[in-house]
Structure 1
Amino acid sequence: MVATSLEIFIFSVIAGVFGALLGLGGGIIVIPALTLLLGVDIRYAIGASIVSVIATSSGAAVAYVRDNITNLRIGMFLEIATTLGAITGAYIAGLISSKYLYIIFGLVLLYSALAMLKKRKEELPQNVISHPLAKKLNLEGSYFDKVLNKEVKYKVAGVYEAFGTMYLAGILSGLLGIGSGVFKVLAMDLFMKLPMKVSTATSNFMIGVTAAASAGVYLMRGTINPEIAGPVAIGVLLGATLGTKIMERLKNTTIRKIFIPVLIYISVQMLIKGLGV
């Protein structure tokens, strides 16, 4: 072991906060921290990250569902595609070398950062036209925003586009162990036109199911090391609980401002690692 359990635990708490805050799962911090800073092999880091994603979802989902920010109908509807994708991605991962995993991970994050940059000033979606299927499935909803101090009602667009993107999100989850929250949030934010907080909360609910679908494959492959996954799970769970309290008191625009630099920095670091620069 290159890293100590305490070091892994500390980074995992930070990962849990950001994971719950941004709806990305703990993997966005856990994988770069374990591989780039603590010297853990990326395959074991991905295995631990799968566990961290489940822990993030468990810690965040309770609070978001209780406060009605999570849209359960959208989450369960889109989870059909992500679960199938996660199983596909987990099997593909065993056929790809580590350097390609670094590069794929970096490109995914960089794309996400650029997409968020375009919407950094948008607090709530405007002029949204409801998709017929969204009305039929009763996917639209509302929640009380503590920052705006009002009930926010929202419509749902782009159902088909979001569903297709979710299959890709599931494949990325199985490949990279990140819960693919980046694409989940983006699909709901860009295609379905949901408020950022609803996208984040619903993503947190979904990522645990997606990760659990591929966790068995990693366990059978022997890449989930208890010495790494144990402190990761505990740290991420504590961090996620704290992250939910913080998120509810932030504006949507503030969440994006935190989101963008984190993604850009990590994407660059992972690309450098993958390219061997």
Structure 2
Amino acid sequence: MISLTFIGIILGVSIIAGIIGALLGLGGGIIIIPALTLLLGVDIRYAIGASVISVIATSSGAAATYIRDRITNVRIGMFLEIATTTGAILGAYLAGLIHARYLYLIFALVLGYSTLALFRRRNVELASDAVPHPLAKKFKLFGTYYDPALQQEVNYTSSSVPSGFLVMLGAGIISGLLGIGSGVFKVLAMDMFMKLPMKVSTATSNFMIGVTAAASAGVYFSRGYINPAIAGPVALGVVLGTTVGTHLMLRLRNATLRKIFLPVLLYISLEMLLKGIGR
């Protein structure tokens, strides 16, 4: 029998997860899974199932607002989904061939370097060195949106499209190999390599992770890993948090979002490092 206190804690944690997921485009798994397993003692399988639900709820809740306000770039998202989907298939194939410990160590180093690079760009509001790549012109990987924080119309384009595509391919491989969310890599690819505004990166990532999570939800459901007593409060809390997060994101500056993203990135890199060394 699940107590009301237990449900209340799940609801509170999920609201926080929804806010962070909407702000940073990472989904709620980074908070939901540790909270359910370490704080509440939930079996990891049911925690992952609830995490999938949280990602879908985050994406669904944020997507409508961000698309309405033209912050999500659907064309860029669908273009990059080609890479992440291909990578996920490749990762699933390689899963039995490569020891996960070494992968965690490699990706911990990659994220550590990315944290340092992002720290150096923490005060950048809009990239001044964004040079349109020929592929950006060919596939129309650019856009415009009104930024309430800056009180101006922001025009942007994509730089280094091949680099961003390769990082997205790597994000898909990571997801397939390690069974972890790859939202952090998606945001990094768009913000650091393609030089998109941070708001566009997080909003488009929110759109993309929902597509990925929806594809895997059926698998977890068929295996019985989605417990309604856990997934229900998670979905409700995440939707409430997402509502708050979307309104916050529209009013924050790109540089502020980047500073919020930094400690989350550092946490994930340290978590991967600890898994890599067996702790």
Shorter-chain TM band: 0.7 to 0.9
Deviation per residue, 1:229-259 (Å, 9 max, x gap): 2211111111111100001111111112212
How far, CA to CA, are the matches of 2:101 and 2:227 in structure 1?
A: 22
Q: Is the 8 A contact 1:16 1:26 kept in 2?
A: yes
1:173–1:211 CA contact under 8 A, matched in 2: no
Other-structure match for 1:184: 186
Report matched runs for 1:44-83 at 5 Å.
44-83=46-85
Q: Residues of 2 paired with 1:53 and 1:120: CA distance?
A: 26
TM-score where L is the length of structure 1: 0.86
Task: State the shift of 1:175 in Å.
Answer: 5.4
The corresponding residue for 1:260 is 262
CA distance in 2, matches of 1:90, 1:238: 33
Which stretch has the larger CA shift, 8-17 or 153-162? 153-162
Please state how far the C-alpha of 1:42 moved relative to its aligned partner.
2.7
Q: How many residues align?
A: 276
Deviates more, 1:110-119 or 1:188-197: 110-119
Give, in whole Å, the separation in 2 of the partners of 1:37 and 1:96.
31
Corresponding position: 1:235 with 2:237: yes
The TM-score with structure 2 as length reference comes to 0.86
Q: Distance in 2 between matches of 1:238 and 1:229?
A: 14
CA distance in 2, matches of 1:263, 1:238: 24
User: Gaps spanning 5+ residues in structure 2: where?
Assistant: none
Where in structure 1 are there 5+ consecutive unaligned residues?
none
SS, match of residue 141 in structure 1: strand
| Conserved 8 A contact 1:57-1:208 | yes
CA shift in 2, pair 1:173/1:264, >3 Å:
same
Deviations 1:167-202 (A, max 9, x none): 222233455665411011100111111011111111
Aligned to 1:197: 199
How does 1:59-138 map onto structure 2 within 5 Å?
A: 59-87=61-89, 89=91, 107=108, 110=112, 112-138=114-140
Deviations 1:123-165 (A, max 9, x none): 1111221111110111111111111111111121122222222
Aligned mates of 1:250, 1:64 — CA distance in 2: 14
2:147 matched residue in structure 1: 145
Q: Give the letter for the 1:241 counterpart.
A: T
- CA shift, 1:83, in A, is 2.8
Q: Do the aligned residues in 2 keep the contact of 1:72 with 1:202 (CA within 8 Å)? A: yes
Partner of 1:225: 227
CA RMSD after TM alignment: 3.1
Amino-acid identity (%): 67
Measured in 2, the distance between the counterparts of 1:105 and 1:37 equals 28
Deviations 1:39-73 (A, max 9, x none): 22333222211111111000101111111111111
Aligned 8 A contact 2:105 2:277 in 1: no
1:252/1:58 CA distance change after superposition, 3 Å: same
Secondary structure, aligned partner of 1:4: helix
Q: Which amino acid aligns with 1:199?
A: S
Whole-Å Cα distance in 2 between the matches of residues 7 and 95 of structure 1? Answer: 39
Matches of 1:274 and 1:5 in 2, distance apart? 33
Q: Report the more deviating stretch, 69-78 or 221-230.
A: 221-230
